[in-house]
Structure 1
Amino acid sequence: MPEIKKYLSIVAVGASRDKLARDLVDAVVQRGCEISECRITPLGDQFSAALLLSGNWSAMGKMESALPGLAEQLGLAIQSRHSRPAEPETAYRPYAAEVVAPQQTRLLGELLDFFAEQETRVVEISAQAYESGLTGAPMCTLHIALQVPLNHHPQTLRDAFMDICDDLHADGLLDPVKT
Structure 2
Amino acid sequence: MPSRNSHLVLSALGKDRPGIVDRLTRAILEADCNILDTRMAVLSGDFAILMSVEAPWDKLARLESQIPELQRELGLTIIADRAEPDARKVDLLPYGVDVVALDQPGIVHNLAAFFSQRGINIEDMTTSSYAAAHTGTPMFAVRMTVGIPATMHIASLREEFMDFCDQLNLDAVLEPVKG
Return the TM-score normalized by structure 2.
Answer: 0.92
Match of 1:104 in 2: 104
Deviation at 1:88, TM superposition (A): 4.8
Letter matched to residue 172 of structure 1: A
Instruction: Give distance in 2, aligned partners of 1:66 and 1:164.
Output: 48
Deviation at 1:176, TM superposition (A): 0.8
Match of 1:38 in 2: 38
Instruction: Give distance in 1, aligned partners of 2:53 and 2:152.
Output: 34
Deviation at 1:12, TM superposition (A): 0.3
Deviation at 1:174, TM superposition (A): 0.2
Letter matched to residue 139 of structure 2: M
Letter matched to residue 132 of structure 2: S
Other structure's SS at 2:164 match: helix
How is 1:1-179 mapped onto 2 (pairs within 5 angstroms)? 4-179=4-179
Give the 3 Å change call, closer, same or farther, for CA 163–13 of structure 1 in structure 2. same
Letter matched to residue 177 of structure 2: V
Q: For structure 1, which segment, 132-141 or 60-69, has the greater mean C-alpha deviation from structure 2 after superposition?
A: 132-141
Letter matched to residue 146 of structure 1: V
For the 8 Å contact 1:132–1:139, the answer to whether it is kept is: yes
Provide the identity percentage: 28
Q: What are the Cα deviations for residues 75-98 of structure 1, in whole angstroms up to 9, with x where unaligned? A: 111011111222252322111110
Instruction: Give distance in 2, aligned partners of 1:134 and 1:160.
Output: 33
Instruction: Give distance in 2, aligned partners of 1:20 and 1:8.
Output: 19
Root mean square deviation of aligned Cα: 1.7
Other structure's SS at 1:89 match: helix
Deviation at 1:57, TM superposition (A): 2.5
Letter matched to residue 39 of structure 1: R
Other structure's SS at 1:90 match: helix
Deviation at 1:121, TM superposition (A): 1.7
- Figure out how many residues of one structure are paired with residues of the other and give that number: 178
Instruction: Give distance in 2, aligned partners of 1:119 and 1:84.
Output: 21
Q: For structure 1, which segment, 150-159 or 167-176, has the greater mean C-alpha deviation from structure 2 after superposition?
A: 150-159
Instruction: Give distance in 1, aligned partners of 2:57 and 2:172.
Output: 45
Deviation at 1:58, TM superposition (A): 2.5
For the 8 Å contact 1:21–1:40, the answer to whether it is kept is: no
Stretches (4+) displaced over 6 A: none
